[in-house]
Chain A
């Protein structure tokens, strides 16, 4: 009886120390649901106990059911014939197991048969599912679609779709990307038109649609004829039907278990979800931010699997009469992998906690009786979530790639062979820093908040936490970096050169990430001495990495803007 929750000290530590009490109190609206629903918790302790038990259920299913099937799913993959997508029998079985485990409507309200859990707990589940089979996360993780209908749909739509999602009868797809527009979603062309009775129809193409064979689709479409930007786009719900044709599925490098579809909409009947013209700027941005957190979790899950495979192999593999993890060249890699993994997870769950606070305060402000303080809190967490989400995705997905890369390196020639899982982790990780916005786009989303110093209040709070004497010197190092970061930000702001700003944006975002994550790891190390070595190593590694980027940013070197063609086209 293996268990991906119980065997993961970091995940268990996170659940115990994340201070979820205020979030579950708000989610359960003072625990009033317990009177109506026998699955609703009665108090904080009861709620956290429910979280832990459910994580144990998913941890068990991931380890005992999904993980053993994942190599076969990867080899054989999803199939496409005669216009129909067929998932691998093991994928179907995995989804059945998760349905039986009752975790298909994790974030949906009690009234629709959901668990009413915070995104933090759902994210932990997606992380464990990804560790077992990254491609399955792409289907399991589409619960965000139900969540989007719950947030923006009308009561009729909610009643129609949400119970089906919670029961595992519906699966979803979010149809955004088109052949010509990926990152540039505001230019989406798929046309939505209305007949004289007001019925909407969708017409056009979508590409790279994960699980495009789903029952329920959220589609971004141009409802305002003659517009060309994001303000002419609306969000629609449509269902699988003969007019919605899967033209082909992609032959991909990784995540073989899930079908990535090209869709043709031949006047597909659809319903407007939410208000016209808010499709991209409000709903899809919200959906995408949710998906970015989910993909960060997918990356952390793959990284966990890759690290564990490498750690195990290095302990067992003997060369020169000793196990290879005795060699500095190897143990330094393994340590660095573990530090990166822990750093990514720390930022991931700080992000989900902030996202949960944002959601609960937003809900309060929309339907409750908010005080001025509540409104201020909503605004504050909204700003933090908007910065942390892209920052987290950039860190988690880039780290997962490095960890998966090093995991192969530690396996040596064996790692290059299909017999071991290391190469699968590497292939699966590779998409994470591309889809739901490339790392380059995450930088674009995050740089504004870095320049505006949106994190400074939180940084101050974290820096003010009481630390044991041994850790204080490390905090001093971090705060020295923070002082330099303020200098670097000022330097870039003073130049008033948008090209230079864009050129150094990634460095600045990464520097900000190092400062913030250092403080998170020191916070955690103060609670548990067994985490100190990891926190210290992260701060030390960050110091060098930070210094290099700092030099670049304040160098003011703009030569590349002029001579890039000489370089690229030599």
Chain B
């Protein structure tokens, strides 16, 4: 069996290890204080793909949409065992909400030819929406299997998974192609030292243009010959319509970003009497907590 598995990954700010103020005074995310990392559940998705590759034989392609610097998570995927990497980067993609993002990624799936299985992490730690995976499936009209913990069986035309549900799990089968979102149920493998030594040279064309302004094309040829050129695409090359991507394609508008700190206020004592309770209820009704 030689199936093609596509894993979508995302470079996110590390919200666990904040080294300074997470927000700027203007209310935007302070990227300088938040190192960019591989979204944790995307690592679980990649691990699942690599396990399927070991069990059944498959080609694992990793793709991300992001800034040129997001090539780093692609290299980290190659260090762990991915076969190929695709970066979708374009200024026109900036400001995308989950609708525009899932549209863009669905275009990517179509542009890559025959794909049997699309894997995504359940959600990214920066937005925490868990919407992108399911929306990609909708757009591609693929069956979607969400909150997947493990793959029980994979055949040429179907997949059986175990997925987490509230209070337990269920086992589902689906025809292929299908899309899975994966939860934190496996232990992502470490990066492999030997693969690092090989793939640390892997680069996108825009990285080469920056590093070798004069000879970027020749360098790209060299990398391509060694299978080290990261496939870089823009909106046009994956066939995405301009009005459905980036800002224009995003109905979600951010009105304000606030850092909400929840603290206990002053303490008020209510007498345990009919009168005391009545006063409390009236107070709660008047400030719209009740009613």
Contacts and interface: CB of A to CB of B under 8 A. Distances in A.
Contact of A1 (B17, B189, B194, B195): B17
Nearest to B190: A101
B197 A41 contact: yes
Contact of B191 (A40, A65, A101, A115): A101
A39 B189 CA distance: 20
Interface in B186-203: 187, 189-198, 200
B237 interface: no
A115 B198 contact: no
A49 B226 CA distance: 20
Contact of B190 (A41, A49, A65): A65
Interface in A38-71: 38-41, 49-50, 53-54, 57-58, 60-61, 65
Given A1-B17, A38-B226, A39-B198, A102 B189 contact: no
B189 A100 contact: yes
A507 interface: no
Interface residues of A, number: 21
B197 A50 contact: yes
Given A1-B17, A38-B226, A101 B193 contact: yes
A1 B190 contact: no
A49 B194 contact: no
A57 B193 contact: yes
Contacts, number: 51
Contacts of A57: 190-193, 196
B37 interface: yes
A39 B198 CA distance: 5
A60 B193 contact: no
Contacts of B197: 38-41, 50, 53-54, 115
Nearest to A104: B193
A54 B190 CA distance: 11
B192 A100 contact: yes
Interface in A272-328: none
A569 B137 CA distance: 85
A103 interface: yes
A97 interface: yes
Nearest to B16: A1
Nearest to B81: A100
Nearest to B227: A38
A103 B193 contact: yes
A100 B190 contact: yes
A61 B196 contact: no
Contacts of B191: 57, 60, 101
Given A1-B17, A38-B226, A49-B200, A115 B194 contact: yes
29 contacts: A1-B17, A38-B197, A38-B226, A39-B194, A39-B198, A50-B196, A50-B197, A53-B196, A54-B196, A57-B192, A57-B193, A57-B196, A58-B193, A60-B190, A60-B191, A61-B190, A65-B187, A65-B190, A97-B189, A97-B190, A100-B189, A101-B191, A101-B192, A102-B193, A102-B195, A102-B196, A103-B193, A115-B193, A115-B197
Interface of B: 17, 37, 187, 189-198, 200, 226
Q: Which 8 A-B pairs have the closest CB atoms?
A: A102-B192, A102-B193, A39-B197, A54-B193, A102-B194, A101-B190, A100-B189, A38-B198
Given A100-B189, A103-B193, 7 more contacts: A38-B226, A39-B197, A53-B193, A60-B190, A97-B189, A97-B190, A115-B194
